[in-house]
Structures are given as structure tokens and as C-alpha cells.
A and B are shown apart, each in its own frame.
Chain A
Amino acid sequence: MLSTTSYQPNYFSIDDILATQERTPCKFLQNAPRMGKLNPSTDEKDLKAGTELELPLWLVLDASAGRQMIVAPELPKIYREAYREILKADATAVDLHKFNLYFYELGSYVKYFDRREDVHNILLHTFITRFRFIMDLANNADSDPTVQNRLDMLERRLFKSGHIARTKLNTWLLDSGAPLKAANMVTNHRKRKRVDDDLFA
């Protein structure tokens, strides 16, 4: 992806693939012959209508799309009311990573599983409320690196790009001139090589 653009999912985007790999509860509305293997708690060959399972989001989305629904999708618990209440109370206090690493992305998909706009609203509310926290984190050069563990992936991207920009600005303010540097990949290649070499030392 272009380094300067903000995240937007596309067919090849790694984050979107990983977000759609998250598991989502659903209920089978029809029998699915030979699909018993989707249910780890049984040895039966076929999957019976009425079975409730957690399946990867990509499958739930496909199987619930269109006029003929194979499964009825349900909201993952982190988007249900109890969790929404926690976010409403104080979104900044929440370890969003523990909710889900792809909180917003997953949320943007599953919000349609609920007829009301509650999930949609809580996604916006959470993002907007936590912005100041992310901004302060990005601006604070010596902030504890473990703090970003509490961010979801989208927030981490924001934090990271903001933090890099801030560091560059601080360097510019203090230094007489930015040195020309070896390319990123070249540096990484060196580092890794050193590690590899060490293994044989």
C-alpha cells in the first residue's frame, strides 16, 4: 500500500484478510450434507439445521448473504449490550486489543447482524472518544511502548504514522540537518543478517 494513504481495505489487504478470519457465532438454518467437520464437537458427517457454531467471519458473511440464508449470523459478544455499556462509560479506559485486535474492522462487518444501529454508533463513539488518547500517545516521544498494546489495529496504524511524523518533526526542530540514510529494507536486511550470523558464531 502507499505509505501516505490511510488504511482502506482491498482484496489483497492483509489486515482485511485477518479481520475476516475472526470467529463469529451463527446458527445453521438448513442441513448441510458433509459439513459435519465444521463442528468440532461432533463426529457426524452432516451438519444439522439448528446447530450453533462459531465460524470465521468470511464464511458467515458468505453463508448469510443473499435471499437464501444458510446461516443466521449473530453479534460477537464484544459488540453486545454489556460490552457496549463498558465502552459508553469510558472508552479510553478499555484495552481494546483485548476486545478484539480488529475491533473497528470486524465491527464494520458485523454491525449489520443487528437491525438497530447500536453497533454502528458504538464504533463511532469509541473511535471519537479515544482519538485524544491516541494523539497524546503519538505526540509523546518517550511514552511507554507497551501502552500501544491497548490499541486495536486501526488505532495502532494511526498511532504509528503519527508517532513517526512527530519524531521526524522533533528531530527537525532540534538538529541541524537530517542525515541521509540507508534504505529501510537494506537496514533490516543487515540486522537480520547479523542475527543469522550470530547463530553460527
Chain B
Amino acid sequence: MSFEPKILGIACNWCTYTGADLAGTTRLHYPQNLRVVRVMCSSRINPSFIFRAFQLGADGVLVGGCHPGDCHYNTGNLYARRRLAVTKKILEFAGLEPERFRVEWISASEGNKFAQVVTEFTAQIKELGPQQKLKIDELLEKI
């Protein structure tokens, strides 16, 4: 069986989650590897959520927020941009493939973009193969 990655998505309620809904409403098909957590704003995303997602076995993590300047909370995504950029640098220096972590600004009207990003990202993660580095296995193996 071919490798089907698990991709964790974290989407802001106002733009990307709504954009994802729009992709559905317009019946745009994309791979089913993404599982989305809805948060109110991309700025809610604690860097440790990203580390944890990889520990839980996510092969890729996709964060979606409003375009800079369009944040429902004015400036949330501007903070998120900096904080997630640092998160990515940390993952990269630790030796994880930085491509496994992606941040995209997807507005509520960009159902197309959502479907396209998920399709692209899923293909990219398939290419990269399973993420084994941060994934927790010790606890599981011994049970």
C-alpha cells in the first residue's frame, strides 16, 4: 500500500476554516490526508502545538490564517507570522525537514487556494515519506 501521510491542519476560524468550507461548498476535491483543528486565530497557535503534532506522528503540519492585514483580530497573524517563522527555523536546525511545516494565508474566499495548497502539500509530504524523527514510539512499543 502506498504511503498515506497524516497531516495536521490548524486553521483560523474566520479565514482558512471558512475557506476550507468554501472548497467543500464548491465541491473541489483534494486529498483526504488533512485533519483540521479549528482555532479562533492563527495567533492562538502555540509553538509547542507544532512540536506536539509531529510527536503525535503528523507527517506534515499545515497552518492556515488570514492574509496579513486581514486578521479578524487586527494583528494576530502578524504575531503568528513571526512566531511560526521561528518555530520553523527551530525544526529545521533540529534536523527535521522544514518542508513538513507550512504556513499559508488563505482567506474565506479562497476555497480554490485551500484545495490547491492541500493537494500540493500532500504530494510534497508523500514525496518526503513518513516523519519518524519526532514521532513518539517508545511508549507505544512497550504496551
- Do chains A and B stick together as partners? no
Q: Which residues on B are within 8 Å of A, measured CB to CB? A: none
